[in-house]
Structure 1
Amino acid sequence: MKIMLAPMEGVVDHLMRDMLTRVGGFDLCVTEFVRVVDQKLPKRTFLRLCPELEHGGKTPAGVPVRVQLLGQHPAWLAENALTAVELGSPGVDLNFGCPAKTVNKSKGGAVLLKETQTLYDIVKSVREAVPENLPVTAKIRLGYEDKALAVDNAMAIAQAGATHLVVHARTKKEGYRPPAYWDYIAKIKQRIAIPVIANGEIWNAAEADKCIQQSACEDLMLGRGALAMPNLAKTIKQGEEPMPWEGVADLLISYSGYEIYGDKGRYYPNRIKQWCGYLRRQYSQADTLFNQIKRLNDAESIVSVLASQSSHADVA
């Protein structure tokens, strides 16, 4: 089984990728999207979103990081895909699933699921630009407003030469509301020859098993679930027990002074508060923590609160 860490805009940056891959269980990461419009982007754009490119295209834990591109113009996406791999990305991923209104209004992300031919043209153009030995992958939802084109879109992407396809088991309209329709992924998998990876609404090992059964997929991509339970990948792959709250507190503390590739976590207070929103799904203590820190605006004060909850707290 392979488990991938999902791209989550504004959340899973290189610091979070490093932290979660250090916890373990992940085989591949995908970056936040690089927005491509009508030009060849400079090297600094790629390095800002994926500083791992200057370090072998891997996190410090050794997990490969693939650059993701988002856009609508096949030729410009192809040119920027070539730049990404020349900079060291181990392949390129194409975003056809982003539900954000601002992205969709500018004809990027999930809105392209209305245009099967455009999906084919983009993947084909990028595949022809990227060296054969490197993967070109794509991530889709089941559709924009409905699921009518789910199979057709997947077939177009496969026929255009994609290496594998990640399917988030909901439409753009369904957003992140449960349930995820894993059985639709199985319908897609029956019709295409390339590997299919299931994504969506996987919060624990039991749900991962259900997803695997219903989607008929061997491999998974985890997003929000990995933020809600930092060792989720290892609970699925290795049967590890969910990380206790004390371990989570240790992790949150380590994030405070985080420095990787010369970049410290400047936005620590806001990021920890944001992270609490995911953690409360699995840990009741996250609500308490948020109430304790919601008015704090410096890392030192937040770490002081966390220290009393960590595994190193004085319990005498």
Structure 2
Amino acid sequence: MERKHQVFVSSTYRDLVEERKEVIHALLELDCIPAGMELFPATDEDAWSLITEVIDDCDYYLLILAGKYGSTNKEGIGYTEMEFDYAIAQGKPVICFVHEDIELLVSSKVESSEKGKERLLAFMEKAKEKHCKFWSSAPDLGGKVSRSLIQLKKKHPSDGWVPGRFAADQKMLAEMEKMRAKIAELEMEALISKDAPPENIDQLKSGSDEYFIPQKLNVDDEGAPEEHNLGVSWDRLFSYCGPELAGECTSVELREKMILAYWHAVPREIREFNHYNGIGMPYVCEDQISVQLQALGLMEHGTKKRAVSDNNTYWKLTPYGEKYLIQIRAIRKSPNKSMQQIADASAD
């Protein structure tokens, strides 16, 4: 399959218009894709980010140097030299074409300032350290680019670009289908794992095991509050919190359900001397309950999209938590009684 390679052509522009045309013509004859910044001259920082992206997408980098150093950034470094340095840093195969005698160029095509000449000569010396050829005219440059690029492609093979109709062959399509099947398998495994209890659940407090919180409760109308440890089983805690989690709830709403569960755990004989609003839920206990319900595989963080300004923490049931909630909350009929018998008894 024929592959096309993209080549970044780097040079000053106004003094090398004809030379660039010859180079681009030579690249097209080699079925290469020329890439340069003719339409977007490198004269500011915004253009530089575009230049680096284009260089990243290229297979090869080609530098043309003559009598001009070119425009510079705030630090006095030419954009053409910056392109060269960036291509080297990215490991791009580089080929340089330096004019063999800049003294022969007309004055409009050479640097007029001493500073510019110094920078150009230093840049040329740097370029000569790479694969470098010398040229004297536009046609001469075009011919040398053709021969040199053929050698460069052999020495540094590159993936290049493939026409879209050839991009996916039968082998690739089969591989993609295999990957799709693997993804579907992994998704199903993830779904099944969420629908089952955690592997280490037998090592955790759960079910009828109780979790105690300290509480000061009144035992009559006159005496001072006394210390009590209120205990609520994990199944009972989840039966209170589960319905709230079904539609996703905030941490505040979940906390209210925890408090309600412990309020109903207050012994009946002293409940009249206390009030629901007097039940305290220490934050350390709230955190422990939340962690335990997650460890038991019953709840997880909410996933619904909300406004950016919403800073609440949301919780929801897991698939396993939903099944478990139904198991412990569903009303069961009495043994040996039909549903009609139960309905008749309720009517009476």
TM-score by length of 2: 0.24
